[in-house]
Structure 1
Amino acid sequence: MDSEFAIEFTRIFLACFYTFVAAFYIVRLSRKSTDGKNLVFSGEKYSATWWNHLLFRWFRVAIWAACLIRVFFPSFDQFLGVLQVLHHWPLIVLGNVLLIAGFVATVLVHKSMGHLWRSGIDPQGPSNLKTDSYFQFSRNPMFVSVALAQLGFFLAFPSVFSLICLLLGWAALHRQILAEEQHLSAHFRYQYQNYRKRVPRWL
């Protein structure tokens, strides 16, 4: 394998991958709970969690659009600030692997949460604190998976654009974690305090 083949393969792969991810999240986020309630909670307008949700939505659209444009207009890369020093096939392949691994891990965590899954902070929930399955290794396995996929995107397409997405994405994840920790601490008190002592925030 050479870098040129990896670059062109990944150009098409990223467009297909993010089209699939977009479809997955459109279906997932449009679902209701079994009792018909909304499962998406952006938070109070202009709050930290509201900005996090808005940031993630815009970046998902921006990444998807950029990847689609790159397929039809390869010269568009020059506007995204490709980092040539990292644009070599071993890192590109590693990025693709991390991207897939992060998405698969995210889906698995989604599934393990079952009816407890929410996007954002449900003011009335959750009904119980989940500490088993993936949550016995990390308090935020979903965010670990997303962070892994974000790193994968940067390596698969190393550029100023993907670096900005990576840094702002990780910052938004951290801010969301802090907000959720505050909510769970108030909601479960001593149970969550004990859980925090046993299990790390990330890994």
Structure 2
Amino acid sequence: MDLLTFGRAALACYFTFIAVFYTAKLFALRARTGRSHLARGPRGSAQAVGRTFFNVFRLAIWGVCVARVIDPRVDVLVGRFDALYTAPVVASGLLFLVASLALVVYTHSYMAEDWMTGTSAEGPRQLLTGGPFAAMRHPLFVAVALGQIGFFLALPSVFSLVALLVGISVLRIQAHVEDRALDARFGSAWRAYAERVPAFAVPGPFRRRARG
């Protein structure tokens, strides 16, 4: 099996695992804590709209990845960039996906029952500042961004580029929503934390500090 064929199967397995992992965790946390760890946000809010876009693209990504295994001609439909679709580029994309998964698992393990997807009215019970949160305020968002970059490199195409741009935009919006919620809940403690820790521990447009 060559690397490009392996990459097709790896993408389908990767995004299937991600879907199963998050679904199972939501059910497990609800069974353990007696409350939902899924917050969609008020209807029409930035969080709700962003989550809708994100979920649609996540489902589409999974569908495309599985369909490519069944019929490689799907690559034509998603507008594959043939000049970039080479073994070294695909391999780098798979490495990004592995890094993303490692950070996801580490952060989820650290957060345990404090994890929640989205921001609810009740808010988090405590302000986490250790572990991965000592380096960045939103490690899970960084992990997702790494995964989106990895997906684009593993399948360089019009579709994966649009998914990357939409994904990064939604992550930035959600990070702002969560920062505001944490500021309202923890006040000066959060602001002191935000002054010393960046939202995203990467350079460029993804790095954003809090506004006092």
RMSD: 1.3
Q: Which residue of the partner structure matches residue 21 of structure 2?
A: 24
Alignment equivalent of 1:68, drawn from 66, 72, 92: 66
With the length of structure 1 as denominator, give the TM-score of the two structures.
0.94
Q: Which residue of the partner structure matches residue 54 of structure 1?
A: 52
Higher relative contact order (CA 8 A, sep 6+): 1
With the length of structure 2 as denominator, give the TM-score of the two structures.
0.90
5+ residue gaps, structure 2, are 202-212
Q: Which residue of the partner structure matches residue 182 of structure 1?
A: 180
How far does residue 107 in structure 1 lie from its aligned partner after superposition? 1.4
Percent identical among aligned pairs is 37
CA contact (8 A) 1:33 1:115 kept: no
Q: Which residue of the partner structure matches residue 131 of structure 1?
A: 129
How far does residue 6 in structure 1 lie from its aligned partner after superposition? 2.1
Q: Which residue of the partner structure matches residue 138 of structure 2?
A: 140
4+ runs deviating over 4 angstroms? none
Alignment equivalent of 2:10, drawn from 2, 13, 25: 13
Task: Tell me the alpha carbon deviations over residues 10-36 of structure 1, each in whole angstroms, 9 at most, x when there is no partner.
Answer: 111111221222211221223316330
Q: Secondary structure at the match of 1:86?
A: coil
2:19 corresponds to which letter in structure 1? A
Q: Structure 2 CA distance, aligned partners of 1:191 and 1:94? A: 39
5+ residue gaps, structure 1, are none
Number of aligned pairs?
200
Alignment equivalent of 2:152, drawn from 151, 154, 168: 154
How far does residue 43 in structure 1 lie from its aligned partner after superposition? 0.4
Q: Structure 1 CA distance, aligned partners of 2:119 and 2:95? A: 30
Distance 1:190-1:33 versus aligned 2 partners, 3 A rule: farther
CA contact (8 A) 1:135 1:141 kept: yes
1:71 corresponds to which letter in structure 2? V
How far does residue 178 in structure 1 lie from its aligned partner after superposition? 0.5
Q: Secondary structure at the match of 1:131?
A: coil
Q: Structure 1 CA distance, aligned partners of 2:51 and 2:62? A: 17
How far does residue 152 in structure 1 lie from its aligned partner after superposition? 0.5
Task: Tell me the alpha carbon deviations over residues 151-188 of structure 1, each in whole angstroms, 9 at most, x when there is no partner.
Answer: 00100110000001000000000000000111111111
